Amino acid sequence: MSKSAHRIFLGVLVVIVFTTLIALVYKGVSYYQLGLEDRVYHPDHKMLKPSGSVGHGLGIIGSLLMIIGVTSYMARKRYRWLSRVGQLRYWLEFHIFLCSLGPLMVLFHTAYKFGGIVAVSFWSMVAVFISGIIGRFIYIQIPRSIEGRELSLNEVREMKSDVAGILRDSFQLDDESHSIISESIKKKIELYHSNFLVRNFRKYIDDRKSVRDVKMVLKRNRFPKKDYNTIISLVKNDINLNRRIERLSAMQNLFKYWHVAHLPFALVMLIIMLIHIAVALTFGYKWIF
């Protein structure tokens, strides 16, 4: 998939989620604002209540979307033959889409009324959704191959280019300018602070200052725009790789701990959701069938 096609793909998924949200809010805002006792007098009560034609359908469709989202992504990671069907990151993005749209529909299915054992499933779903956002952030911090395979520390180091050598061989820089640019990409994160968050924040600020210094040097040397953009791109890429290398181990450990929290909530949500569905069917709630 090309970059343009990938952006269109992501854009369509985002539009679907937000369009669904806007449509559900527009349709039911007057109903959901009422107290539970007053909702029975609303003209759309039979349609929007959890067992209504729309409310019940939202629960069924939302549950199916979540089940498909979870099982398909797990199958893609577990079975090798599925590796030929698209890259892992596309499966992850589709998993995130289904597991965002599904909970949204389930939320409106409940009509903001939940209690008992179903409440456990609902709040587990919320925990899964929030932890999924955190997991996505951690996931993108870990360098990966095009296929989505996690790269080792040595593989990431091999991605680094010799920026100082490229500048020396391909561009006309005086010794002072060359030294300033070279030093801007050699700073070690360990020198900043023992605390992980403080250390990375200070490094981020310093990296931005380093890029500004490089830009000043290039403007002083009056580099052509094409060469200017090439050098800035090289410097930013090297700084970014340095940052990823220095926090790779921490992110890998965080990702392992994240699984410990994410998976149990997902299992609790799915098990209670299946019990809820079984009970609903037992009492004759079969939607439009």
273 and 237 share one domain:
no
The whole-number pLDDT of residue 70 equals 86
Q: What is the pLDDT of residues 134-158, one digit of tens each?
A: 887 777 777 665 455 556 656 666 6
Token readout for 258 is: 């994240």
Tokens read off for 288 = 């439009």
Contact (CB, 8 A) for 106 and 63: yes
The Cα–Cα gap between 265 and 262 comes to: 6
287, part of any domain: no
Task: Decide: helix, strand or coil at residue 144.
Answer: strand
Q: What is the dihedral of CA 72, 269, 127, 71, to 10 degrees?
A: -10
Distance between CA atoms of residues 75 and 59, nearest Å:
24
**Looking at the structure, do residues 213 and 118 belong to the same domain, yes or no?**
no
Q: Who's near 286: CB < 8 A, 6+ residues apart?
A: none
pLDDT of residue 189: 47
User: Do the domain assignments include residue 161?
Assistant: yes
Residues 193 and 145 grouped into a single domain: no
Considering its fold, how many domains does the chain have in total? Answer: 2
* pLDDT on residue 241: 74
72 & 209 share domain:
no
- pLDDT above 80 (res 104): yes
32 shares a domain with 160:
no
Q: Which residues pair with 150 in a beta bridge?
A: 144
Q: Which has the minimum average pLDDT: 69-73, 151-155, 202-206?
A: 151-155
Digit-coded pLDDT (tens) for 14-53: 999 999 999 999 988 888 888 888 888 899 988 988 888 8
Domain identity same for 205 and 257: no
Same domain, 26 and 122: yes
Residue 24 and residue 133 share a domain: yes
Domain annotation covers residue 288: no
Lowest-pLDDT range of 139-143, 207-211, 282-286: 139-143
Q: Are 69 and 94 in contact, with CB atoms under 8 Å apart?
A: yes
177 versus 189: the higher-pLDDT residue is: 177
3-class DSSP state for residue 26? helix
The answer to whether 275 touches 117, Cβ cutoff 8 Å, is yes
Rank 45-59, 76-90, 122-136 by mean pLDDT and report only the highest. 45-59
Q: Measuring CA to CA, how many Å separate 11 from each of 6, 8, 100?
A: 8, 5, 14
Nearest in space to 30 (alpha carbons), one of 46, 52, 45, 17: 45
The label of the residue with tokens 């985002």 reads: 14
Write down the mean pLDDT value for the chain.
Answer: 79
Give the model's pLDDT for residue 187. 56
Q: Is the pLDDT of residue 6 over 90?
A: no
Lowest mean pLDDT among 23-27, 56-60, 207-211: 207-211
In a domain, 40, yes or no: yes
In this predicted model, which residue has the larger pLDDT, 149 or 101? 101
Q: Which residues pair with 144 in a beta bridge?
A: 150
Domain that holds residue 191: 154-246
Q: Which segment of 66-80, 101-115, 143-157 scores lowest on mean pLDDT? A: 143-157
Q: What is the pLDDT of residues 210-260, one digit of tens each?
A: 788 778 877 777 777 887 788 788 778 777 777 777 767 777 777 777 877
